[in-house]
């Protein structure tokens, strides 16, 4: 990944919260608890997941910056959603967490010298070293991917409303 592509992805990462808020403005609150399938997440659960995932992503970015060669913590996102009772958590707090985590991590990314983006760590889900490029690819696309899921859930909910 060259510097221009990386900077573009970092900018997309920085816009993630605003993109999410714009997408949520299109969805009535009544649709937020709808689950397309029993094992799929509702919009509400997606929001809580984003707070947990983005918090983990922020820690991973900092580990990549400060401790290259170290090991990241893994987690089972479906188990977290079930056992942490995502529907019982505050979506307002989750959105604020996403906003602050994205803002502070985005600012941190923009301050890094070129050589930091060559760092890698051990990720429990990958055999090969997990690179900063992989982190940037994954997390710049994370919120846009969930926006797609939110929009799909909303469409399916609308279809059930007749």
43-79, pLDDT tens digit by residue?
999 999 999 999 999 999 999 999 999 999 999 999 9
End-to-end CA distance of the chain: 47
Identify the weakest region by mean pLDDT among 73-77, 109-113, 132-136, 152-156.
73-77
State residue 158 phi and psi, 5-degree precision: -60, -40
* pLDDT value at residue 61: 98
Instruction: State whether residue 42 is helix, strand or coil.
Output: coil
Over range 1-27, report the average pLDDT.
Answer: 97
User: Which residues have CB under 8 Å from 29's CB, separation 6+?
Assistant: none
pLDDT at 162 over 80: no
Distance of CA 26 to the CA centre of its chain: 20
HSE-CB for 27 with a 13 A CA cutoff: 25
* pLDDT value at residue 132: 95
Task: Give the pLDDT band of residue 107 (cuts 50, 70, 90).
Answer: very high
* pLDDT value at residue 114: 94
Q: Which residues share a beta bridge with 122?
A: 71
pLDDT at 97 over 80: yes
Q: Give percent of the chain above pLDDT 70.
A: 100
All structural domains of the chain with their residue ranges: 3-160
* pLDDT value at residue 147: 98
Distance CA 150, CA 116 (A): 34
Over range 141-156, report the average pLDDT.
Answer: 98
Distance CA 127, CA 138 (A): 17
Distance CA 129, CA 70 (A): 10
Over range 5-21, report the average pLDDT.
Answer: 97
Average pLDDT in the chain: 96
* pLDDT value at residue 54: 96
Q: Which two tokens stand for residue 79?
A: 């188990």
CATH architecture of structural domain 3-160 = Up-down Bundle (1.20)
Distance CA 8, CA 21 (A): 20
User: Which residues have CB under 8 Å from 121's CB, separation 6+?
Assistant: 60, 63, 64, 67, 68, 69, 70, 71, 72, 129, 130
């Amino acid at each position: 990944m060259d510097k221009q592509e990386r900077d573009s992805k970092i900018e997309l990462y920085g816009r993630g919260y605003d993109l999410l808020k714009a997408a949520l403005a299109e969805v009535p609150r009544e649709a937020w608890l709808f689950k397309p399938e029993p094992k799929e997440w509702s919009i509400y659960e997606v929001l809580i997941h984003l707070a947990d995932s983005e918090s983990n992503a922020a820690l991973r970015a900092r580990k990549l910056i400060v401790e290259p060669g170290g090991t990241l913590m893994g987690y089972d996102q479906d188990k977290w959603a079930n056992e942490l009772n995502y529907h019982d958590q505050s979506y307002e707090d989750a959105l604020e967490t996403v906003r602050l985590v994205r803002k502070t991590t985005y600012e941190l990314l923009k301050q890094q010298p070129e050589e930091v983006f060559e760092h890698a760590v051990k990720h429990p889900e990958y055999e090969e070293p997990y690179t900063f490029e992989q982190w940037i690819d994954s997390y710049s696309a994370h919120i846009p991917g969930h926006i797609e899921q939110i929009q799909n859930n909303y469409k399916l909910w609308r279809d059930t409303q007749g």
